[in-house]
Amino acid sequence: MKPTIVPRATLGRLPVYLQYLKSLPAEAGSNVSATTIAKALGLGEVQVRKDLSAVSGAGKPKIGYAVAELIEQLEDCLGSRDRSRAVLVGAGKLGRALFDYRGFDAFGIDIVAAFDRSLERAEHSDSGKTIYPMEEFGAFCKREAIRIGILTVPAAAAQSVCEEMVRCGITAIWSFSPGQLTVPEGVVLRQENLALSLAYLTMQIKTDSLGASDEEKD
């Protein structure tokens, strides 16, 4: 499998292709054309070809894609056979909501444990997963070789938790904490700013209603 960065929009559609291909009855044959897929999913044919070319070769003229092979390639790309395990630090409301959110599954990601500084002993989330006291964070990450950390702690604690994550071997951090974070080279950081997202949307309608031009799209 050749490692590639699939464009974000394409990645979002891959679980849809996978689900569709898996739903095909055996009688449908061992090949499927881009035209058939596009019709079934209400997508443009050009888009389907382009999306699938990111994970597979091009379909063969008059034959299309080999269904079994394409399923395997999609599963590889989506991590269905090589799942990624993440941990979450900061089991407040947002942290718990993410911890129990089921949508990560389709992308081959499991949030295997959460940690919170306020806990003295482990407890369970609503979905039955374990939230540990922060003291157990380092040992857990090293034992389980965790590479992905989700940060949902208050702003004041974010940088220090971020550094603790890096010390424990985490190389990708997804932060919901406000404020600027710095990570060493080699660590991938993505900072979500929910307030800013909403503010930006709000600004668009304010300016729209005042008749300004809306040149910048997000």
Report the interface residues with its own copies, using CB under 8 A.
Answer: 2-8, 11-12, 78-79, 84, 86, 92-94, 96-98, 100-101, 103-104, 106-109, 126, 147-148, 150, 171-172, 174, 178, 188, 190, 192-216, 218
Q: How far apart are CA 139 and CA 136, in angstroms?
A: 6
CB-based burial, 36-51: b 16+ in 10 Å, e otherwise: bbbeeeebeeeebbeb
Indicate the residue among 30 and 118 with the shorter CB distance to its own copies: 118
Residue 109 beta carbon to its own copies: minimum distance, rounded to whole angstroms: 6
Whichever of 34 and 86 has its CB closer to its own copies, that residue is: 86
> Do residues 130 and 114 make contact, with C-beta atoms less than 8 angstroms apart?
yes
Minimum Å gap between C-beta 38 and its own copies is 15
**79/138 with CB nearer its own copies:** 79
12, HSE (Cβ side, Cα atoms, 13 Å): 4
- Token couple for 185: 């080279």
Task: Give 30 or 202: the residue with its C-beta nearer to its own copies.
Answer: 202
Cα 96–chain centre separation? 17
Cβ 111 to its own copies shortest distance, Å: 9
Which one, 4 or 25, has the nearer CB to its own copies?
4
**Min. distance of Cβ 96 from its own copies in angstroms?**
6
Nearest-approach distance from CB 3 to its own copies, in angstroms: 4
Instruction: With CA atoms as reference, report the closest residue to 151 among 175, 133, 178, 135.
Output: 175
How far apart, in whole angstroms, are the C-alpha atoms of residue 120 and residue 139?
Answer: 16
